[in-house]
Amino acid sequence: MASPASSDSDQVLVEANGSTRTLILNRPKQLNALSSAMVTGLLKCFTSYEEENTVKLLIVKGNGRAFCAGGDVAEVAQSINNDSWKYGADFFRTEFLLNYIIATYSKPQVSLLTGIVMGGGAGVSIHGRFRVATENTVFAMPETALGLFPDIGASYFLSRLPGFYGEYVGLTGARLDGAEMLACGLATHFVPLNRMSLLEESLKRVDASDPFAICGIIDQFSKQPSLKGSSSLNRMDIINRCFSKGTVEEIISTLEQEAPSVSDKLVTAAIQSLRKASPTSLKISLASIREGRLQTVGECLRREYRMVCHVMRGDFSRDFFEGCRAILVDKDRNPKWMPPTLDQVHDGVVANYFSKVDDPHWEDLNLPTRSSHGRRIVPKL
């Protein structure tokens, strides 16, 4: 029987089975989008269970047709408008601390990725040790279309995908299926949907924290799916040629040069996505992923926290609020980005997003010392 993780919210449920704890994201009508109460509840669970010797394994899953569609950015934007940017800063501070604890967790976590896994949903799963995808899994980092950037430590794991696939996924918001997640390393296993409940029941009977033992159990239910012919991973030559460029302008220009000769839907879709996205978001996202290649997960999260605070304050652009209006509130899907073109987003402005916030009450993200620097991403291409 599942019970609420905290007394003031039933948005995260906990089911206890022996030494296994199953954390259930429980906002099905909102596709389990992470509210402030959920982030706080999850952090409390992860922190306390790491200290409890009787708890050896954590399972994380979503209630309904989504694992988690991301952070509740509409809630954040509304709260900032009503109150202060510091509400948003507090939300992301807690969320990024949770991401860091998960990325450096000493006990195995198995995330069952049924349905939608986007944005903040990736933050509470991809950083964990085991990520199990299936036939109906849909992964994406759609932040550039919202005037945001791939945060939650995404600059760490996107920068470790094969070649320049992370730049492609992070800038275009391209959707990946379960087979693609496994192939590029975002998922560690692929289990058919009709075997997922059997896997879960087997894991609930485990009385061990040994990752090799947990992996062995998941392996028993896993299969190696085939990539679809149209998969973007079958176009890695084009992706690497285009998304290895040093600037967003060069990426788009190279894609446009490719378009006439390849007549490939991937190229056309990528150009359309990049043309629709916030120019500021595209530039800071590319810079963030490139920085992430040489940083630990903690360093990525600290930098991303600076970036997101600048976004919440609207220091250099208010595209985040315009994106929320156009995509989530009015839903006219016609954001008016400012500045409206890439050439108007200067390198100095991009660099400013990585700087400390000019506010006497602001502090950098303070993360505890942990023994790990983040998970390895192991592609299976």
Catalytic residue among 70, 88, 120, 323: 120
Other Cβ atoms closer than 10 A to 37: 17
Structure tokens at 234: 């079958």
Catalytic residue among 41, 71, 128, 153: 71
Catalytic residue among 75, 95, 143, 304: 143
Please confirm, yes or no, whether 330 is among the known catalytic residues.
Answer: no
Please confirm, yes or no, whether 323 is among the known catalytic residues.
Answer: no
Nearest partner of 203 among 60, 102, 103, judged by Cα: 60
Please confirm, yes or no, whether 120 is among the known catalytic residues.
Answer: yes
The three-state DSSP-derived secondary structure of the chain is CCEEEECCEEEEEEEEECCEEEEEECCHHHCCCECHHHHHHHHHHHHHHHHCCCCCEEEEEECCCEEECCECHHHHHHHHHHCCHHHHHHHHHHHHHHHHHHHCCCCCEEEEECCEEECHHHHCCCCCCEEEECCCCEEECCHHHHCCCCCCCHHHHHCCCCCCHHHHHHHHCCCEEHHHHHHHCCCCEECCHHHHHHHHHHHHCCCCCCHHHHHHHHHHHCCCCCCCCCCHHHHHHHHHHHHCCCCHHHHHHHHHHHHHHHCCHHHHHHHHHHHHCCHHHHHHHHHHHHHHCCCCHHHHHHHHHHHHHHHHHCCCCCHHHHHHHHHHHCCCCCCCCCCCCHHHCCHHHHHHCCCCCCCCCCCCCCCCCCCCCCCCCCCCC
Please confirm, yes or no, whether 153 is among the known catalytic residues.
Answer: no
Catalytic positions, written as ranges: 71, 120, 143, 151
